[in-house]
Structure 1
Amino acid sequence: MMNKIKSLVVAFLLISVASFAQGNDQPLKFGYTNVEYILLQMPESKQIESELKTHSTQLENQLKGKYSEYESKLQAYEKGASTMDKTIREDKEKELMNLNNSIQEFQRSAQASLQQKEKSLVDPIITKIDKAIKDVAKENGYTYVISNQALLAGPEDGDISPLVLRKLGVDPAKAQATPEPAATKPAAAKPAAATSKSTKKKN
């Protein structure tokens, strides 16, 4: 999930709040934060992860069922192909090819479904965080707020994350460090075996 969230917050690498710029006689004030970090501190984050896990498991189970059907029919074909009538054998081979194509198509659809599910869950929270960041910037006189992922150096008092967390109702003292991203696999099952065996006619 963490890797996926990163892709959804990429637009926040530079958050401009120039509309809150101070007068010409006042210096520019820069702040920085990390949208992913803020999101992970919010109560909604655990609910998002739970819902994505449930959705992913459902997709995986359905895909495994499809593969199990394919494997069962492939084994039956290989066992009886030598004694099958040519017409029946060709029909079985066509069925196996269709099942294999169906598995591959489902894998693509499952990935798209998981991404859409995640987007629908994360987007409202990102919007909420965006508003909080802009509110904090306006209330504290920040001209610009940038992502700390793009920051090479800066003062500690430029980090507005604690202010944003308070604005969102989260206690900064209870905030957890951003975990190392773990590679998350999309819903998938063992790919269907190549049908070259099944389509090789036996005489």
Structure 2
Amino acid sequence: MKKLINLFLVGAVMMFTASSAVAQQKFAHINSPEILQLMPEVKAATATLQSFSKTKQDQIDKMTNEAQVKYEAALAKQKTISEANKDVVGKELQQMDAELQDLSKRIQDARSKAEEEVANKENELFTPIQKKANDAIMAVAKEKGYAYVFDLAAAPGQTPTVIYWAGGDDITNLVKTKLGIALTAKP
């Protein structure tokens, strides 16, 4: 019986200690898209990405215009077909058709390659920015002694990771300050 009482007391002390430790943990929340939108690096990276994307689109548009011109030439050539020139014009039309099919495949390949290059460029530009923001968030959390920081922003179409929160400290402004962003700046 004495062992049972001792075991009960030890268990009660452990539960009290554990609940005390949980009660002392600090929680905070943040709105990371707001911070990212205000970082000057994001604006510069967005402009670079848009310029890069436009260059790729211009290349595809040039190829598409070339295909359109060749297609219209083939249509015009088809109107000149007669019994006398049927064989010659027929061969020319077959060659034009082969060229159009080849050009169409090259346009598809160029589109796929451009999409991949734009995605790679986006990753190259935005990964260091995301790392900088994450490092600032972690630094503020450590400085302020937070055990958990919840991001209240959810990606479109996804359920937020935080369903309910009551209070907590919003460290968005602290992270803005850490990144050198004016507290009055609006996205």
Q: TM-score, normalised by structure 1?
A: 0.70
Pairwise CA RMSD of aligned residues? 1.9
Q: Which runs of 5+ in 2 are unaligned?
A: 1-19, 154-160
Match of 1:32, SS state, is strand
Q: Counterpart of 1:85 in 2: which secondary structure?
A: helix
1:159 aligns with 2:170: yes
More helix by proportion, 1 or 2?
2
Are 2:49 and 1:52 equivalent residues in the alignment?
yes
Alpha-carbon separation, structure 1, partners of 2:145 and 2:57: 49
Q: CA deviation at 1:72?
A: 0.2
Q: CA deviation at 1:154?
A: 3.0
1:141-200 deviation line (CA, Å, top 9, x unaligned): 1101121123334355521111111111112222x14xxxxxxxxxxxxxxxxxxxxxxx
Identity rate of aligned residues, in percent? 29
Q: Tell me which residue corresponds to 2:60.
A: 63
Aligned pairs (5 A) from 1:128-147: 128-147=132-151
- Residues 1:76 and 2:73 are matched in the alignment: yes
Q: Check the 8 A contact 2:77/2:89 in 1, yes or no.
A: no
Q: Quote the residue 2:112 is aligned against.
A: 108
* Higher relative contact order, chain-length normalized (CA < 8 Å, sep 6+): 1
Q: How does 1:13-32 map to 2 (within 5 A)?
A: 24=21, 27-32=24-29
- Structure showing greater radius of gyration is 2
What is the number of equivalent residue pairs in this alignment? Answer: 154
Normalised TM-score (structure 2):
0.75
Please list, as runs of the form range in 1=range in 2, the aligned pairs for 1:82-121 lying within 5 A after superposition.
Answer: 82=81, 84-121=88-125
CA gap of 1:29–1:124, structure 2 versus 1, over 3 A, is: same
Structure 1 unaligned spans of 5+: 1-22, 178-203
Q: CA contact under 8 A between 2:60 and 2:107: conserved in structure 1?
A: yes
Give the SS at the match of 1:105. Answer: helix
Residue 26 of structure 1 and its aligned partner are, at CA, apart by 5.4
**Pairwise CA distance, 1:50:** 1.1
